[in-house]
Structure 1
Amino acid sequence: MSPSPHTAARRDAPPTTLASAALPPRVRHLLGAVNALAAQYLSTSLELALNELERQLFKQAERARSSQHQAECFAELQYLRQHRADLIPRYLAALEAELARLREAPMPEAPAEEPEDPLQYQRLTLVEDTDLDRDIVLREIARHQAQRGGTPLLLLGQRFGVLAARPAFDPERLPIGPFALCRILREAGESLRMNLDSQLLLYRMFERQVMDRYGELVGRLNTLLAHEGVLPGLAYLPYRPRTAGQSRRPARPGAPGAPGTAGTPRPRPLTGWQGQGHRSDWNGALLAGLPEAPQAPPGVVEGGAATAAAPASPGARPGLPEQAVFGALQGMLSAHRQANTAGGATPRQAPGRILPLDAVTNALGTLQSAPPARLPGKRRRTMDDLHHSMLEHVRQSHGPEAGLSQEHSDTFELLGMLYREIGREVHRNAPAQDLLERLQVPVARAAVQDRSFFVRDQHPARELLNSVAESGATWLADDDADPQLVQRLERAVDRVVEEYDGDEAVFERANREVQEHHRAQARKAEVGERRQVEAARGRDRLETAKHRAAEAIAARLGGRKPPQFVQALLGQAWADVLTLTALRHGEDSPEWRERDEATSRIVEITCAPDAPADPALAGQIDTALRQVGYHADEASAISRRLSRSEDDETTSRTELTAKLKARTRLGEGEQAEARGAHLPPRSDGEQACYERLRTLPFGTWFEFVSNQQGDVRRQRLSWYSPVTDNALFVNARGHKVGEHSLDALARLMAQGQARIVTEDRGRLIDRAWHATLRTLRGLAGGRAAPSADGTEVGGA
């Protein structure tokens, strides 16, 4: 990310604004809209990144092993608080300057000059180590985001190429691309005047809070430019035409498959592979309807000791710090506990002596080093069991009246509820159950030490918990099991149990290794899926060619009726010839025209009672049949009957008919019988689901109910044909698991036997959290009902 000479020259020039740039009025207007949208998005994300950076520096100061290190951390924290107000304006001004220079011609790299004296070694210089470290980190962040950007980022480069009147921009040259954003961060970050370690920590917070949400910004920018008329029809997938009779009117509101009402857009379908689901907002469901609360005072009493007020969580509502958000969660838990007490449950008794945080974490650390002992046939340890074991351990040292504070007791209770909901979504005998049990102590330590465990949208411990749980999810079939993933998870859990001592980076490293395996498996699954899709497309082209052959024969017949035996030969043997010709050469080729003329000649001869035989036509038919795969004697017999009007070989007709019936035609296979099934017309609900299906992107995940108990299996809609309506489904490893017609799939959706998995409910940990909140609010059931249209998964 080192600045080039022309970049340095531009930096010395006065900042350029869109108002002063030499741009056409329409381009200036569009770039102004882009800049306003990006400023709105980036200012919020940068503020969250700075809040997280401040929180991390405060943690480093608390955990400093020497007074000197602690003083340095507090000094960096002071620098940050003094100069953080300058970072966001500098960043947005630099971004506007990048956009204003959109139409400037790129300056060529200056050619390397020959040194006047090769022996003047003092002129040779090396890059500063600090610059090299920053370049490596920022380039790696930008490279990862460019790889994750995928098709939307490429489409944005095409649209910016139109605005610049130049070829499409690649991610490295895009003015609002990941490389440009990282380069601007380095330049603007110098205003904070922090040391190298703090700057590298800023880059990591920038990656977590800004770049992880960069895909959303790219999508909004593409939508904005498309609405403004900049390549409005640009799409990665080819246009899929509507079939005859398909309604172009949208479904009525409230009908199955109809879009949501105004202000409540339909959730997007989940299209990522296993382990790549989008994270949902944990605070969104928690803070729904919660009134604004004032900021907490600087000194917050916690466990008898005053601590500094922590900055707001990245996912918390502005003006609502972590303590207030966690307090709202405690209020819900208290109301739930009171309802249970009124129903006959035993009320909780206040402890005589509240244990400090160090005593709780030390007790959990002792239990962490001892693996859970479970006899064969006995149930696994629960979070409640861990809570009781920890209390027994600390009471041996602090007396029988010792107990936990209200906050720590609530933390264990919430973890117990969350673990129970996770357990319902994991196979009972899956290896993930044992791994989840071993993670109980490290997860409990992380939640007790950091109240943001239930507040932050992304917590490393929760991310690893989700990865482990999804490896044994109930929606996985037996053929979806991945032994290599289980081994990788076992090593990750072993490392966390052995190394975790309060540093959440241990969870981050363990989960990073697991996610690398997920990405590698996703690439393999994509290769396997691509092969299945190509095979399905080949079958679809064959089916289309067969329809075209039948239409060509019917057009040449024009209502005339040759003898029954000739009709059978035309509908089978000669139809195979036309099908293969359409597949190999296309309908605009000379070969197809020759076969079509031969079809017309066959009809004329076989329908006219006195037409003479045509030896040339017989030879043409014989050659064509042999190319399709007919034996020489069969091809000769068929060609003789199709090239003359008389049938003087009645003795061999029965034998030839038997051979044709025993022969497998082109495209005949396991689905030949299904094409002939006649189903009743679709109802209004089924029709709405059918129209909804034809708008789904390839890669959408479905959940199919597999038994009367309501167990589901996830399958991925890899491809469907707009001509034959045939849909291909694969599993999480890219293996073909079935095919359905869109008509049959729509009927299943209307019956509630198939549901679309949406992004907001794709991850297991998020589904378990929403189920926990429903339990706290008193809603019945651990499983959510499907949406109003019965098509989308709405809960665990």
Structure 2
Amino acid sequence: MNKSSSVSFIGDRNSRPSRLDNARSAEALKICNIVVRDMHALLQGMFDGIDDSFFELANNARNNNEQNRFFEAMRDIRIKRKNIENDFKSSIEAQFSLEQVLTPSSKLNAPVEPKGFESLSLVQNDDLEEEVAISSMATKAQANFQGPLLQFHTRICNLYGCENNEDANLPLGLKDVIESFTSACEVLEIELKERLIVFKQFDRYVLSNLGPVLDEANKTLIRLGIMPSLKAPRTKQGSKTASSPHDKSTHASEDTTAKQQNTTNVLPQLQNLLANIRNNLGPQALSADYNPGLPTQYVSTQDLISLLSAIQDIAPSTNNSADPKVINIHQQLKAQLSQGSDQPTTQPKFKQIDEDLINLVSMLFEFILEDYNLAAPIQVLISRLQIPILKVVIKDNSFFSSSKHPARKLLNSLAKAGIGWNETQNKGDAHYQAIFDTVQNILDNFTGDIQLFEKLYEEFSAFVKKEEKKSKIVEQRTKESEIGQIKSRQAQKCVEDKLDSLLDSSQISIPDLVLETIRGGWSRVMFLAYLKDEEEHQWEHSCKTAENLIWCLQPFEKPKDRQYWIAIAPKVLKELKSGLEEVSYNTADLDQALVEIRSTLTNTFKQNSFNLSHNIVPPVNEENEPKAETAIERQQASIDSSLNKYIEQIEQIEVGTWFEFTNNDSKQRCKLSAVINDADSYIFVNRMGLKSCEKTKTDLANDLKRKHTIVLEQGLLIDRAMNALTSSLSQKASTL
């Protein structure tokens, strides 16, 4: 080997470098620093989210023990957070070391020798649950990021001089990333439930957002010249994308854009409709001041643009009011052309294509100003773009045919961003200010270069994505909090309904002590059982205990009832004591209360036995007799049937749809954030992700019926405007 070479090899058989040359070492260090930086940022966001999650869980806890457990977990995580972050960071850095990369994965993951049946029995259920959670996280992340991860590993393999990916132990392997985190978390002294919550947050905040980390790493490797021509593998149809809310919205918008790139060129159709209208109108189509005695002089396109620029200079002062209006371009052009000429010698006329474009853009902005989906202040801002858009269209009428046209994209983006803006908001609001600045930038700086619209679109889109990311985080927290509260209310209602049903079926009046114990204490046991039923399946059992307790107080109907009472009464008292102790009910006097309940049951048993042997029928509690349906209830049923069509409409509405609610004289725009069918609850949030209101399906149907609620259009503004233009002109042409 040449001694001057800075690269040495282990042997020809492996062709693996024992160390990297200076250039490659610097490149490896750079990519390592970028990945570690991005992963550390994701981990910091995760810990912030964990703090909020445990705080919400503690607030919603139903007993002191559970609340203390959550607060203790939160405290332990806060104390050890820095150590976990440092350990995780060091572990990710170690994955980029040459020794680690060149160690065959088969050696690192060597199978463990079986230890016999006795050792297998030592594996606890807790460990098994952790392993299942970790395996699930790795499988999901592998499915989500298989393509960019394969690209990254292929380039890293090339950088480190490995022969193939399979023999090397490459950094950012999903199992290695997860193991780095779980190993760092071993210092936490928390129970399994809290540990699984931490793992879930790691999946949500870190693993689900690996896409941007891998994208940045791949871009950096490409800039360093590492396999720049490597193509991304084709994703199988139907495969899932990354699960972060931000990625989902991005992919959805990309899919929508892809579908709209094949937009039909409607300009020829619109021109034909305008021509038919002109032909049908005949002389009426001419302007009132048309003078056939003067020779016609056509205004060149360039002169037309100059005239429009002159109009634009004075237009803002006349179009800044709260009641925006479409500028009468023809009138303004006539005023500009007649300046300095009292008696014109020629009849100015525009080319037919320019005339058509002036008319179509005016109609387009009439639609925008009549579009109820835009708040009035946003309409005011967008209406100021009428002349700039007209100049754009005259220069490049592909605005009508291509959804990728920069001006069209920008208009759609401005309108979409303004759909959730409420008129009650301050105009210093960031969203409003961003729209205002974009419009003002066009008015001040547009001189004919359409690329200005592309630049502003990119800047505005970046702002919107940043704001949406913030609002989605807030919305997710709002949704989780609301779902927790709704489940609690649902559990409370189910408990109350069940107890009401059991108590109403009683043939006798329940003694006060038993009634207080059921309502005040056992209801808590049932509440917790309902919330945990998916895991512990104790709801039915808790209901049966309450049912048996009430039954033990009822008169005997047949001799076998005595034997059944003797069999279940002790069990009922035992279960009653165990459940009430678990929820810490009346801890000071619980034993005395149970003694009195036992005495009440015993006395009832003696009395019922005596009545049965002497054929004495006890009086029936008439308060529990079923009531006939009232006229009001029948009327309510009739009203409900009239809401069916609105309920059907609601059932078709998707999460993410925007609504406008009218309450007295105020209007509020909200987005449907979540539908919880089990609780018949529709949760709405504002643009910032904070809860605005909550409604049942019937409430929402009533609002729609009374016109107190309007479902806002979700389609792109210009696409809707084009459809409205075509429909309006077609209708007008057919009626002439």
1:701 aligns with 2:657: yes
Equivalent in the alignment of 2:327? 383
Cα gap change, 1:707 to 1:555, in 2 (>3 Å)? closer
Query: Match for 2:434 among 460, 465, 488?
Result: 488
Q: Which amino acid aligns with 1:326?
A: L
Output one character per residue of 1:543-570: Cα deviation in whole Å (capped at 9) or x when no partner: 4544664687699989664533457436
Query: Match for 1:170 among 138, 145, 154?
Result: 145
1:763 aligns with 2:716: yes
Query: Match for 1:517 among 440, 460, 463?
Result: 463
Give the superposition deviation at 1:494.
Answer: 2.7
Q: Match of 1:478, SS?
A: coil
1:722-737 alignment, distance < 5 Å: 722-737=677-692
Q: Match of 1:446, SS?
A: helix
Q: Is the 8 A contact 1:354 1:405 kept in 2?
A: yes
Q: Which amino acid aligns with 2:143?
A: A
Give the superposition deviation at 1:339.
Answer: 5.8
Q: Match of 1:436, SS?
A: helix
Equivalent in the alignment of 1:90? none
Distance in 2 (CA, whole Å) between partners of 1:482 and 1:372 is: 20
1:360 aligns with 2:376: no
1:211-610 alignment, distance < 5 Å: 221-222=237-238, 315=262, 325-337=266-278, 346=287, 349=290, 352-369=296-313, 372-374=316-318, 382-384=326-328, 386-394=329-337, 396=339, 401-425=347-371, 430-470=376-416, 476=422, 478=424, 483-546=429-492, 549=495, 561=507, 563-566=509-512, 568-569=515-516, 572-582=519-529, 586=533, 589=536, 599=546, 602-603=549-550, 606-607=553-554
Higher relative contact order (Cα pairs below 8 Å, separated by 6+ residues): 1
Q: Which amino acid aligns with 1:331?
A: N
Q: Match of 1:168, SS?
A: helix
Distance in 1 (CA, whole Å) between partners of 2:310 and 2:694 is: 53
Give the superposition deviation at 1:372.
Answer: 2.9
Query: Match for 1:778 among 720, 731, 735?
Result: 731
Cα gap change, 1:469 to 1:723, in 2 (>3 Å)? closer
User: Which structure's residues are more often helix, by fraction?
Assistant: 2
Give the superposition deviation at 1:422.
Answer: 0.8
Query: Match for 1:719 among 632, 655, 674?
Result: 674
Cα gap change, 1:489 to 1:112, in 2 (>3 Å)? farther
Give the superposition deviation at 1:419.
Answer: 1.0
Give the superposition deviation at 1:763.
Answer: 2.9
Give the superposition deviation at 1:507.
Answer: 0.7
Output one character per residue of 1:44-93: Cα deviation in whole Å (capped at 9) or x when no partner: xxxxxxxxxxxxxxxxxxxxxxxxxxxxxxxxxxxxxxxxxxxxxxxxxx
Aligned residues: 483
Distance in 1 (CA, whole Å) between partners of 2:281 and 2:599 is: 91
Distance in 2 (CA, whole Å) between partners of 1:704 and 1:548 is: 32
Equivalent in the alignment of 1:32? none
Distance in 2 (CA, whole Å) between partners of 1:690 and 1:427 is: 22
Give the superposition deviation at 1:366.
Answer: 4.0
Distance in 1 (CA, whole Å) between partners of 2:732 and 2:385 is: 29
Give the superposition deviation at 1:365.
Answer: 3.4
Distance in 2 (CA, whole Å) between partners of 1:586 and 1:315 is: 51
Distance in 2 (CA, whole Å) between partners of 1:678 and 1:176 is: 66
Distance in 2 (CA, whole Å) between partners of 1:700 and 1:378 is: 29
Q: Match of 1:330, SS?
A: helix
Cα gap change, 1:687 to 1:431, in 2 (>3 Å)? closer
Distance in 2 (CA, whole Å) between partners of 1:378 and 1:539 is: 41
Cα gap change, 1:574 to 1:376, in 2 (>3 Å)? closer
Report sequence identity in percent.
18
Distance in 2 (CA, whole Å) between partners of 1:276 and 1:415 is: 26
Q: Which amino acid aligns with 1:422?
A: I
Cα gap change, 1:378 to 1:551, in 2 (>3 Å)? closer
Q: 413-422 or 477-486, which moves further after superposition?
A: 477-486
Give the superposition deviation at 1:503.
Answer: 1.6
Equivalent in the alignment of 1:680? 637
Equivalent in the alignment of 1:77? none
Q: Is the 8 A contact 1:426 1:472 kept in 2?
A: no
Give the superposition deviation at 1:354.
Answer: 0.9
Q: Is the 8 A contact 1:352 1:403 kept in 2?
A: yes
Distance in 2 (CA, whole Å) between partners of 1:557 and 1:524 is: 49
Q: Match of 1:732, SS?
A: coil
Distance in 2 (CA, whole Å) between partners of 1:110 and 1:779 is: 78
Cα gap change, 1:335 to 1:623, in 2 (>3 Å)? same
Give the superposition deviation at 1:725.
Answer: 2.0
Distance in 2 (CA, whole Å) between partners of 1:721 and 1:378 is: 40
Q: Is the 8 A contact 1:435 1:468 kept in 2?
A: no
Output one character per residue of 1:13-71: Cα deviation in whole Å (capped at 9) or x when no partner: xxxxxxxxxxxxxxxxxxxxxxxxxxxxxxxxxxxxxxxxxxxxxxxxxxxxxxxxxxx
Output one character per residue of 1:710-736: Cα deviation in whole Å (capped at 9) or x when no partner: x98653332222322222222333222
Tell which structure's C-alpha radius of gyration is larger. 2
Q: Is the 8 A contact 2:375 2:421 kept in 1?
A: no
Distance in 1 (CA, whole Å) between partners of 2:652 and 2:322 is: 50
Equivalent in the alignment of 1:134? none
Output one character per residue of 1:319-340: Cα deviation in whole Å (capped at 9) or x when no partner: xxx6xx5332112123345566
Distance in 1 (CA, whole Å) between partners of 2:307 and 2:439 is: 20
Cα gap change, 1:565 to 1:705, in 2 (>3 Å)? same
Distance in 2 (CA, whole Å) between partners of 1:632 and 1:678 is: 48
Give the superposition deviation at 1:437.
Answer: 4.4
Q: Is the 8 A contact 2:522 2:576 kept in 1?
A: no
Equivalent in the alignment of 2:599? 644
Q: Is the 8 A contact 1:369 1:498 kept in 2?
A: no
Cα gap change, 1:429 to 1:718, in 2 (>3 Å)? closer
Distance in 1 (CA, whole Å) between partners of 2:19 and 2:667 is: 70
Q: Match of 2:476, SS?
A: helix
Q: Which amino acid aligns with 1:364?
A: L
Q: Is the 8 A contact 1:446 1:504 kept in 2?
A: yes
Q: Which amino acid aligns with 1:504?
A: I
Cα gap change, 1:401 to 1:113, in 2 (>3 Å)? farther
Structure 1 residue runs without a partner (length 5+): 1-108, 127-165, 181-213, 226-230, 238-270, 285-313, 649-675, 781-796
Q: Which amino acid aligns with 1:742?
A: K
